[in-house]
Structure formats: structure tokens, C-alpha cells
Amino acid sequence: MPDLSDSVGTVVIVMMENRSFDHMLGYLSLIDPKINVDGFEVGDAQPQDYRIPETQLMNDDYLNISSVDGAFHYPFHRLDNPLAIDLPHNRHSVWEQLGKLRADGSFTMDGFVDAYYDNSQSRMDLADPMAFFTSGEVPTHDFFARNFAVCDRWFSPIPADTQPNRLIALSGFTSTDRTATLLPDQKLIFDWLDENHISWRVYSDDISFFALFPKLWLPVLTDHDHFRDFSELALDVSKADTTPFPKVVIIEPSYRDSPIHPHHNPNDNHPPLPVGFGEDFLRQVYQALTPPASLSVWQKLVMIVHYDEHGGFYDHVSPLAVNTTCGTGNEPFTSTGIRVPGLLISPFVKPGQVYPGNLDHTSVLEFLAEWLTPGTPYSSIVDQRLAQPGFNAGRGRGHIAEALDFTAPRLQPPDEPTGTIKALSIMSGKRVAEHTNELAFEDALSKMVDAHPNEVAQRYPELIHWKLNR
């Protein structure tokens, strides 16, 4: 294991929403110049130009057959337009997407279309769960993949939706198996950082996800040292030579599920959003961390970009056999969730690198402990989780630190893509929450306004306007 303490100065964590690996990065193994990720393969089909929209990948290894009408559904290249609906991704739907359990413990991964049709009246030749993008739709992901490192065995922790997966990412465990409403008062990464006297900060591009935790309402509203607007990031980076920059930074997109978006379109990539807004957000994050006149943060940076869960999109890699408890009265999970994009952006990784070890969101917590409290693990829960045999499957147990090489760091960051990123925005009428995480945001923010009206008026005056007009 490399020595991290002297080389790494800041770890930045960016967690996006609801996309699978094959959906966002599976094309890398199809289209020249190819990157040798565990992505899509052509199989026995005739060669096709998969950059052409609606081109299907006719490989039976990926076939999903609709039990509604017997139609065959293969992965296909989709342009970046808003989707018809938010794809299903709760516990029941993900179990259906995994398909049948084989004798070797793997899943057939052929229930994505059936799960979609169970939640939608739409019947289509090209079903949304089977869609994938190429570099034309995801230029920032493509830039990161070709200039830095892809982790192609990064799994969401459990086969469920947003809140339990994010709780595991923030704590190492979850006390719930579903997205519901206010999040429980469980120990979070911030508590661990404070106990170890480690500096940290959250930059949010609108309303913070941490507003769903009642214990964090006042810090989110009033603690400017720890909770800042994303617009302040670039200035803080530029002053890092004279003003200490935090060791651990979480950067949040603007969440679609929030009832308000005061600054711009939501950009977390949560369907039915197009991903263009998220691509531009990630480009802005990279720009803010790499100002040419002030590279001290960049030169000791490890930035981790990943997704909370797969959001109902197809992926061909079976999850790992890992057991996870999820609160009193809830049946434990017996596998990880479905594979999601994982990217490491750092001067310590080689261009086009593919890291093949098995990872999930708790691997980030393990990495933080290896860096910040060497010899003392993050928690016994995280240690026991990652010690399960399932993480040794396939290409073996992964450690984020193993992807880093400190012998020849790239002191100058490569220039980010400068092309135009397009995304179609639909301007809807008065927002009405429908899905569980939308309802959770509305409930939490309404109660936060009631509990701290003056502080809300100072930090998020748009929430007052929203509540008065609900």
C-alpha cells in the first residue's frame, strides 16, 4: 500500500445520481480509441458505428425479453433528451432487474425492461433502461476516463434506491432499506472527521442533501466554515496558498428532487433529466479545482466521482454476494447494488487507466482512514463489510489507494473539454412532488422552514417563497 500521508493533501468527493456503468461508460470498450473497461462487447454481430443514434448492440449476452409482449430489447445508443419517466429503482424493482439467480450465485441481469414496464404504460421498441451514451453525450465523463482513471468494478452498496445507498456512503451502514422522509440521526462522516480533528467542507450547488438530516439544519443554514455555496469553491481554491483548504471536501450538484432550484437547472443526472447539465457541472468542478494560476490544491488532489445507485438503467455485470443489514424489521440484503460509474481524477493516476478491483461506496471511507488515521480503520462495520468473501470475486478486492502512483505526478492538469454541451430543459408548471425522494425533500425543507425561519430566510430565501405558495 502506498504512503498517502505526505502525498495527498485534499480528497474531493462528488456523488451524482442514478446512472449505471454501462449506461454512462460502457461505450468505452466499443468505440475507438477504445479503453479496456468491462463494458460492452460486440459479440457475433456485424460491426456497427455505435456513435449513430438508435444503433442497437445485438449481443444476446445483453438481451432483455419483455414478458409483456415477448419483444427483444438490446442496448442501444440514445441521444441525451429528457426521459419519459424516472426509471424504477426501489428494492422490489431492483430485485426484478437482477433477473434469475444462477447456480454460481450470479444474476442473469435480464429484468430491466420488465421492471420498467411494471411501472410505466409506455411500450417502445427502444426501451429507456437499455439506453447507453457515447462521448457526444457525456464529454466530461469521456475526458475524465481518457485522462485519468476508470474504476470499472464500482458497485452501489445495496440493490435499493437513494437514501439507503447514500447513508452507507456517509456512514458505512444504513438503518433503512428504502427512501422515505427525514433521514435518521445516525453517525455520519462529519462526526468521524471531527473526532479525528480533520478539516472538512461541503460545497452545494443549490439545496444540500444534508438538509434531510434534522440534526444538520442549523449547520447547513449558518455554519459557513463547513457549508458553502458551490460558487465559492473557485475562490477558495485560488487562496489555498495563504488560507488553509480543507482536507476532505464534498461537492454536491443541484438535486432534481429538491422543490426549488434557485440558481439554474438541476444537474445531478437524476432521470428524467438529460445528463448535459450534469456534464457541465462536472466540468465546472474540474475548472474550479484546477485554476492555472493556483495549482497547489490540484498537485495533492484525489477527486472521486461516483453515483449513489444505478437508477434503473441496464448493466451487464452481476452484483457481488455481500450481506448488508438495513435496520430493525427489514430483511437483510444478500448482494451489493448494481455497478455504477467510478472515476478517479488526480495527478497520481495515469491517463486511460482502468482500475479493476471490486469497490463500493464504503471503499471511500476505508481510503480516508488509510490516509488520515493510518493503522486505525474507519470503523469495525466498514472493515467487516469489506472483508466479506464477495469482494474477492472476479478480479478481487479493491483499494482506492492501489490506483494511485506517486512516483511521477502530473503537476499540470490537462485542459478540460471546451466544446458546447447541450441539454434540453422542460419548463413545467407548479412543482408537485410524486416520488419518494421528492416527497422527502419537501417534508424536510418544510419542517426546516418551520424550525428555523430566520436562518432559512438568510441562506435560502427562495424556500420561504416556495412554502408560501405550496
- Looking at residues 248-272, what average pLDDT do you find? 93
Query: Would you say residue 46 has pLDDT above 80?
Result: no
Backbone angles phi, psi at 254, to 5 degrees: -85, 115
Least confident of 18-27, 276-285, 353-362, 408-417: 408-417
pLDDT of res. 180: 78
Q: Which of 263, 308, 259, 299 is nearest to 412 (CA)?
A: 299
How much is the average pLDDT of 170-196? Answer: 90
Using one digit for the tens of pLDDT, what is the confidence trace for 68-88? 889 999 999 999 999 888 898
Please report the pLDDT score of residue 461 as a whole number.
92
Sign of the dihedral defined by the CA atoms of residues 191, 449, 452, 262, in that order:
positive
CA neighbor of 142 nearest in space, from 254, 37, 256: 37
Average pLDDT in the chain: 93
Distance CA 306, CA 339 (A): 10
114 pLDDT above the threshold of 90: yes
Coil, strand, or helix at residue 143?
helix
Please, what sign has the CA dihedral across residues 171, 174, 180, 185? negative
Question: What is the model's pLDDT at position 264?
Answer: 87
Predicted pLDDT at 244? 93
pLDDT reading at 57 higher than 80: yes
| Lookup result for grid cell 422527502 | 440
pLDDT digits (tens, 9 = 90+) for 119-178: 887 778 899 999 999 999 999 999 999 999 999 999 999 999 999 999 999 999 998 888
Contact 398, 153 (CB under 8 A): yes
* pLDDT tier, 181 (very low <50, low <70, confident <90, very high otherwise): confident
Domains of the chain: 10-20+139-403 (3.40.720.10)
Distance CA 452, CA 445 (A): 10
Instruction: Map 206-264 to HEC letters.
Output: CCCHHHHCHHHHHHHHHCCCCEEEHHHHHHHHHCCCCCCCCCEEEEECCCCCCCCCCCC
Residue 172 CB neighbour total at 10 angstroms? 27
Q: What does the pLDDT read at residue 183?
A: 83
Question: What does the pLDDT read at residue 2?
Answer: 65
Cα–Cα–Cα angle for 301, 302, 304, rounded to 5 degrees: 140
pLDDT for residue 5: 80
**pLDDT at residue 468, rounded to an integer:** 87
pLDDT value for 4:
86
- Answer yes or no: is pLDDT of 399 > 90: yes
Percent of the chain at pLDDT exceeding 90: 80
Query: Of the ranges 162-171, 430-439, 458-467, which is most confident?
Result: 162-171
Lowest-pLDDT choice from 225-234, 278-287, 322-331: 322-331
Q: What is the pTM of this model?
A: 0.96
Residues 331-363: tens digit of each pLDDT: 999 999 999 999 999 999 999 999 999 999 999
Cα–Cα distance list, 107 to 10, 115, 126, 290, 407 (Å): 38, 15, 23, 42, 40
The pLDDT of 234-246, averaged and rounded, is: 94
DSSP for 352-379, please give it. TEEE-SBEETHHHHHHHHHHHSTTS-S-
Please check the confidence at residue 306 and state whether its pLDDT lies above 90: yes
- Flag the least confident range among 29-33, 376-380, 419-423: 419-423
pLDDT above 70: residue 430: no
For residue 45, is pLDDT > 90?
A: no
pLDDT band (50, 70, 90) for residue 322? very high
